[in-house]
Amino acid sequence: AQTVTQSQPEMSVQEAETVTLSCTYDTSESDYYLFWYKQPPSRQMILVIRQEAYKQQNATENRFSVNFQKAAKSFSLKISDSQLGDAAMYFCAYRGYGNKLVFGAGTILRVKS
Amino acid sequence: EAQVTQNPRYLITVTGKKLTVTCSQNMNHEYMSWYRQDPGLGLRQIYYSMNVEVTDKGDVPEGYKVSRKEKRNFPLILESPSPNQTSLYFCASSPFAPPSYEQYFGPGTRLTVT
């Protein structure tokens, strides 16, 4: 079975600074997809960024980028120029052949002004 | 507007009183799923459905039932709720394939069982 591990329960970052959230996963599948979801206090789940395992190029979406290391099974999220609106719970998630999303435990990100 | 709706958004109930949380999507998605979110555990899949009349257990199915009689609806049924089912519940939908497709989440249902 696939597992996803987020080892940082909480992180803090100063406004305008850069922060990296860590995620590792375990799978025996060769083709899969990885996602980062943001959950603000409203509880809505918002897709931040996705990465296809067969693509070596790291995905980027504006201030959000990932560092995908397939051999190490690592998928970290970098947030540049952090803003107050980035404060939220962030979940790393895996989706393979079975279509099920497997989530990590989440990382609470606090942004200080 | 493309969306997944859930009702109710908040529910407080007592042990043993049957309840249903409804989920509906207007995007003609084949795949629908229920998750529960608990602190320190992230979201875990309860049940999923790949199409009408096709449902299967996820990782934590005990104490829950589902049905998929119409493509747009996927209700979650708690026949005899217990306090350990107090949680935040999410319904989600997506096209069946490929797995790169984003899963669209409903707004969540906060359930408290006393």
Taking only the tens place, the pLDDT of each residue in A37-96 is 999 999 999 999 999 998 889 999 999 999 999 999 999 999 999 999 999 999 999 998
Report which residue type is found at B6.
Q
Task: Say how many C-beta atoms besides its own lie within 10 A of residue A81's C-beta.
Answer: 11
- Residues in B closer than 8 angstroms to A94, CB to CB, are none
From the list A6, A43, A101, which residue is nearest B108 (CB)? A43
Confidence of residue A21 (pLDDT cuts 50, 70, 90): very high
- Residues in B closer than 8 angstroms to A100, CB to CB, are 33, 45, 48, 58
Q: DSSP letters of B18-51?
A: -EEEEEEESS--SEEEEEEEETTTEEEEEEEEEE
Taking CA atoms, what residue in B is nearest to A33? B100
Confidence of residue B98 (pLDDT cuts 50, 70, 90): low
CB within 8 Å: A100 and B58: yes
CB within 8 Å: B43 and A101: yes
